């Protein structure tokens, strides 16, 4: 049978769902130690499956043990890392979002700092050199070579800071100098609202290819000076754009995004193939056969009918499926039901087919033995039948059980017409003579209904009271 | 001589009268007796043996050790020569049927079976007339 016919829609959903879960785990944990250990576990698992396939019992067993222990260790050792990944993100980010790699970029830090300075009306001059060397045009300055941070930039331009009037030079991700004096512009047509900072920024921009960001102390407005131009900045986005253009990050970023998309695509594909492999391993890799003895359940029997005979009470089902699924079968998951809705009094023959059998997902029926079940139905009637005690055991040799009186003498029994027509006596359960003494006495015994399909009619007693007389034997 | 003749005649007449009377009585009586009498089972018991035409140790449970068991019946009256059947059932399976003859006016009779190890369990004997009408059922058990 072609393999594709075995795949159900549940299997497709199963694979896709788990592939996505694996892909999301990669997205959320990539770059962390957890991810590396998870990758290690995945390789161990693959190794274990290969070992099992080739019959390397000990290796397979050891790999299985290590995998299980590692899975436990990962939760204990990396609990903080896992918690930080899961807690820091909202549900949407966990299920759908793509977190940015690494911390905030230099541009992001500069933009955030400028935004803060602008809001607080702290004057600032930030120089971002391009290709030209600025040493010839800059004066003074104190080397710093500190990593950029928002707090650092804000504190440099704080009014009480001795270097707050000068400019800062940013090279790469570091502030290389602070308190630098820039050359002033000699332009005479500068608007009157621009002060010395703006003139200094323009002065540097005119003579070099550097970009200078200016924050006005008076108005808090932000401008960028580049190539003899002063550009008003409205919002963080436009500043970010200009800074990126200046640093030539647009192309780099585009490349980076392409690479990122490619990585994600590869990760998604690997997730899909890995889960498909796992699914095949679990579901199809080991095609196991099992034979189950399952009781036949008769449904939709007419209330006036009684099952008096059935050729079998159980059928043997030959089932196939993966070892894991076969092992996990619960008895209540496998049912054989025969519909007696159209059955008639007398012999009925039913074929046991796939339609009569319910199986758990992933388990397939190969054969039913026997495939035909014969059921004999009878009409249900009531009949009054005498009761007789079924004595067992032995009295002492000198005694005889001379007389008994049984109550009730007769009981009304409900059952199949054919059975009841043949039945002339209802016996009690075995009553032992051994404990009975000479004289009179009374004992009780339950009625034994055979076959089990018989029932005592409502109103009739299902227990007999036996009054007896035991006398001495006449020799 | 004449007196003797008269006496003889009187005696003959009286004899005839008495005879006639008695005959009439007998006829009446026999007419009342001619109403068909029904065969009546007077007594039916299971017993270990029969002794002096009477059941010995009637009981409802018999040990297999005694080797046999009897079904004793007493019929009174028996209107005419007839016969009855004893059908012995072990559980619900017919084990044997015995045909027993009855003679009027009354009759006692019995049937017996020999016991084997496999005969343990509940038994019944159905007593029926020659037409198969069930007269009585005796129930008993064979035990250890």
Of B61, B124, B120, which Cα lies nearest the Cα of A385?
A: B124
Q: What is the mean pLDDT of residues A357-370?
A: 86
Strand, helix or coil for residue B122: strand
**Inter-chain CB proximity B59 and A404 less than 8 Å:** no
- Report the pLDDT value the prediction gives residue A17, as an integer from 0 to 100: 92
**Inter-chain CB proximity B143 and A394 less than 8 Å:** yes
- Report the pLDDT value the prediction gives residue A4, as an integer from 0 to 100: 56
Q: Which of B43, B59, B66, B115 to mutate to test the interface with A (most CBs of A within 10 A)?
A: B59
Q: Is residue A33 scored above 70 in pLDDT?
A: yes
Nearest neighbour of A394 by CB, restricted to B58, B63, B92: B63
B95 touches chain A (CB under 8 A): no
- Report the pLDDT value the prediction gives residue A101, as an integer from 0 to 100: 53
- pLDDT band at B135, cuts 50/70/90? very high
C-alpha distance from B130 to closest chain A C-alpha (Å): 21
Q: How far is CA A456 from CA A8, A305, A384, A461, in A?
A: 50, 16, 10, 7
Q: What is the mean pLDDT of residues A255-262?
A: 82
Of A123, A106, A112, which Cα lies nearest the Cα of A159?
A: A123
Task: Identify whether B11 is preceded by a cis peptide bond (ω within 30 of 0).
Answer: no
Q: Is residue A8 scored above 80 in pLDDT?
A: no
Which chain A residues have a beta carbon less than 8 Å from that of B48?
Answer: 400
Q: Helix crossing, A57-77 with A33-53: angle to 10°?
A: 160
**Inter-chain CB proximity A433 and B61 less than 8 Å:** yes
B103 touches chain A (CB under 8 A): no
A-B C-beta contacts closer than 8 Å:
57
- Report the pLDDT value the prediction gives residue B35, as an integer from 0 to 100: 56
- pLDDT band at A131, cuts 50/70/90? confident
Q: Which residues make beta-bridge pairs with A229?
A: A226
Chain B, residues 110-139, CB within 8 A of chain A, namely 120-122, 124, 137, 139
What does residue B143 show for φ and ψ, rounded to 5 degrees? -125, -170
Q: What is the mean pLDDT of residues B75-83?
A: 93
For the question of an ipTM over 0.90, the answer is no
Q: Is residue A474 scored above 50 in pLDDT?
A: yes
- Report the pLDDT value the prediction gives residue A284, as an integer from 0 to 100: 59
C-alpha distance from A349 to closest chain B C-alpha (Å): 30
Tell me the C-alpha distance between A436 and A195, whole Å.
127
Nearest neighbour of A473 by CB, restricted to B57, B137, B139: B57
pLDDT tens-place string over residues A159-175: 888 888 899 999 888 89
Which string of DSSP letters, residue by residue, matches B42-82? EEEEEEEEEETTEEEEE-SEEEGGG-EEEEEEEES---SSE
Average pLDDT, chain A: 85
Which chain B residues have a beta carbon less than 8 Å from that of A432?
Answer: none
C-alpha distance from A451 to closest chain B C-alpha (Å): 13
Q: Is residue A272 scored above 80 in pLDDT?
A: yes
Q: Is residue B16 scored above 70 in pLDDT?
A: no
Q: How far is CA A416 from CA A338, A405, A413, B121, in A?
A: 20, 29, 10, 25
Contact A204, A225 (CB under 8 A): yes
- pLDDT band at A406, cuts 50/70/90? very high
pLDDT tens-place string over residues A428-439: 999 999 888 899
Stretch among A116-120, A184-188, A315-319 having the lowest mean pLDDT: A184-188
- Report the pLDDT value the prediction gives residue B34, as an integer from 0 to 100: 54
A181 phi-psi bin (left φ>0, alpha ψ -120 to 50, beta other): beta
Which chain A residues have a beta carbon less than 8 Å from that of B138?
Answer: none
Tell me the C-alpha distance between A159 and A169, whole Å.
18
Rg of chain B's alpha carbons, rounded to an integer? 25
Which chain A residues have a beta carbon less than 8 Å from that of B60?
Answer: 389, 391, 401-404
Both tokens assigned to A187:
């332009």
Contact A424, A384 (CB under 8 A): no
Contact A125, A212 (CB under 8 A): yes
Which string of DSSP letters, residue by residue, matches A279-313? HIIIIIISEEEEEEEEEEEEES--TTEEEEEES-S
Of the two residues A248 and A239, the one the predictor is more confident about is: A239
pLDDT tens-place string over residues A411-420: 999 888 888 8
Which chain B residues have a beta carbon less than 8 Å from that of A395?
Answer: 61, 63
Nearest residue of B to residue A430, measured between CA atoms: B121
Of A211, A207, A204, A225, which Cα lies nearest the Cα of A128?
A: A211
**Inter-chain CB proximity B122 and A391 less than 8 Å:** yes
- Report the pLDDT value the prediction gives residue A213, as an integer from 0 to 100: 93
Which chain A residues have a beta carbon less than 8 Å from that of B58?
Answer: 402
B56 touches chain A (CB under 8 A): yes
Both tokens assigned to A190:
């500068």
Q: Which of A392, A445, A475 to mutate to test the interface with B (most CBs of B within 10 A)?
A: A392
- Report the pLDDT value the prediction gives residue B33, as an integer from 0 to 100: 47
Both tokens assigned to A386:
């005498």
C-alpha distance from A441 to closest chain B C-alpha (Å): 15
Of the two residues A296 and A475, the one the predictor is more confident about is: A296
Tell me the C-alpha distance between A135 and A129, whole Å.
11
Contact A411, A384 (CB under 8 A): yes
Q: Which H/E stretch holds residue A106?
A: helix A106-120
Q: Is residue B25 scored above 50 in pLDDT?
A: no
Both tokens assigned to A283:
């579901």
B43 touches chain A (CB under 8 A): no
**Inter-chain CB proximity B122 and A425 less than 8 Å:** yes
**Inter-chain CB proximity A389 and B58 less than 8 Å:** no
- Report the pLDDT value the prediction gives residue A316, as an integer from 0 to 100: 93
**Inter-chain CB proximity B122 and A393 less than 8 Å:** no
- pLDDT band at B98, cuts 50/70/90? very high
Contact B109, B70 (CB under 8 A): no
Going by their DSSP bridges, the two strands A287-299 and B82-90 should be labelled as: unpaired
B60 touches chain A (CB under 8 A): yes
Q: What is the pTM of this model?
A: 0.44
Q: What size, in residues, is chain A?
A: 475
Of the two residues B36 and A154, the one the predictor is more confident about is: A154
- Report the pLDDT value the prediction gives residue A431, as an integer from 0 to 100: 93
Going by their DSSP bridges, the two strands A287-299 and A335-339 should be labelled as: parallel
- pLDDT band at A1, cuts 50/70/90? very low
Contact A41, A71 (CB under 8 A): yes
**Inter-chain CB proximity A402 and B124 less than 8 Å:** no
Range B111-143 burial, b when 16+ CB lie within 10 A, else e: bbbebeeebbebbbbbbbbeeeeebebbbbbbb
Q: Which residues contact B139 (CB under 8 A, 6 or more apart)?
A: A386, A388, A425, B60, B122, B123, B124
- Report the pLDDT value the prediction gives residue A450, as an integer from 0 to 100: 83
Which chain B residues have a beta carbon less than 8 Å from that of A422?
Answer: 92
Which chain A residues have a beta carbon less than 8 Å from that of B144?
Answer: 392-394
- pLDDT band at A444, cuts 50/70/90? very high
**Inter-chain CB proximity B141 and A473 less than 8 Å:** no
Tell me the C-alpha distance between A67 and A320, whole Å.
28
């Amino acid at each position: 049978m072609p393999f594709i016919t075995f795949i159900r829609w549940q299997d497709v959903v199963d694979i896709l769902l788990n592939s996505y879960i694996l892909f999301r785990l990669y997205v959320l944990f990539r770059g962390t130690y957890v991810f590396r250990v998870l990758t290690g576990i995945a390789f161990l698992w693959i190794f274990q499956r290969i070992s099992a396939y080739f019959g390397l019992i000990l290796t397979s067993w050891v790999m299985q043990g290590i995998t299980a222990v590692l899975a436990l260790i990962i939760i204990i050792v990396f609990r903080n890392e896992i918690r930080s990944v899961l807690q820091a993100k909202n549900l949407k980010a966990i299920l759908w979002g793509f977190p940015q790699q690494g911390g905030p970029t230099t541009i992001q830090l500069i933009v955030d700092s400028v935004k803060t300075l602008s809001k607080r009306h702290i004057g600032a001059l930030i120089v971002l050199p391009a290709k030209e060397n600025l040493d010839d045009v800059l004066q003074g300055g104190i080397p710093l070579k500190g990593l950029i941070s928002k707090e650092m930039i804000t504190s440099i331009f704080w009014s009480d800071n001795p270097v707050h009037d000068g400019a800062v030079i940013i090279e790469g991700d570091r502030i290389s100098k602070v308190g630098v004096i820039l050359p002033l512009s000699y332009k005479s047509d500068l608007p009157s609202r621009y002060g010395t900072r703006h003139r200094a920024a323009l002065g540097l921009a005119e003579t070099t290819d550097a970009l200078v960001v200016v924050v006005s102390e008076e108005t808090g407005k932000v401008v960028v000076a580049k190539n003899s131009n002063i550009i008003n900045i409205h919002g963080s986005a436009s500043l970010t754009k200009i800074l990126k253009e200046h640093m030539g990050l647009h192309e780099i970023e585009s490349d980076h995004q392409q690479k990122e998309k490619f990585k994600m695509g590869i990760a998604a594909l690997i997730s899909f193939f890995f889960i498909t492999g796992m699914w095949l391993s679990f579901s199809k890799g080991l095609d196991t056969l099992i034979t189950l003895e399952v009781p036949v359940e008769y449904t939709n029997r007419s209330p006036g009918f009684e099952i008096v005979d059935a050729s079998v009470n159980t059928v043997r089902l030959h089932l196939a499926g993966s070892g894991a699924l076969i092992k996990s079968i619960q008895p209540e998951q496998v049912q054989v039901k025969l519909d007696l809705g159209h059955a008639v009094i007398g012999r009925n023959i039913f074929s046991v087919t796939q339609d009569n059998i319910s199986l758990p997902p992933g388990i397939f029926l190969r054969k039913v033995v026997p495939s035909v079940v014969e059921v004999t139905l009878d009409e249900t009637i009531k009949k009054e039948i005498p009761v007789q005690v079924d004595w067992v055991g032995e009295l002492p040799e000198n005694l005889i059980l001379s007389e008994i009186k049984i109550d009730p003498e007769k009981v009304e029994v409900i059952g199949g017409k054919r059975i009841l027509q043949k039945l002339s006596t209802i016996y009690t359960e075995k009553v032992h003579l051994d404990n009975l003494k000479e004289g009179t006495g009374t004992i009780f015994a339950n009625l034994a209904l055979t076959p089990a399909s018989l029932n005592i009619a409502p109103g009739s007693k299902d227990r007999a009271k036996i009054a007896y007389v035991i006398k001495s034997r006449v020799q | 001589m004449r007196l003797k003749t008269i006496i003889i005649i009187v005696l003959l007449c009286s004899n005839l009268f008495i005879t006639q009377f008695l005959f009439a009585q007998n006829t009446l009586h026999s007419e009342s007796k001619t109403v068909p009498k029904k065969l009546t089972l007077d007594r039916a018991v299971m017993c270990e043996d029969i002794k002096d035409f009477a059941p010995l140790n009637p009981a409802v449970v018999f040990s297999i050790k005694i080797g046999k068991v009897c079904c004793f019946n007493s019929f009174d009256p028996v209107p005419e020569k007839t016969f009855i059947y004893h059908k012995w059932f072990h559980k619900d399976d017919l084990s044997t049927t015995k045909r027993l003859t009855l003679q009027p006016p009354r009759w006692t009779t019995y049937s017996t079976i020999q016991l084997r190890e496999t005969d343990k369990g509940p038994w019944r004997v159905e007593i029926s007339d020659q037409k198969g009408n069930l007269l009585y059922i005796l129930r008993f058990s064979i035990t250890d």
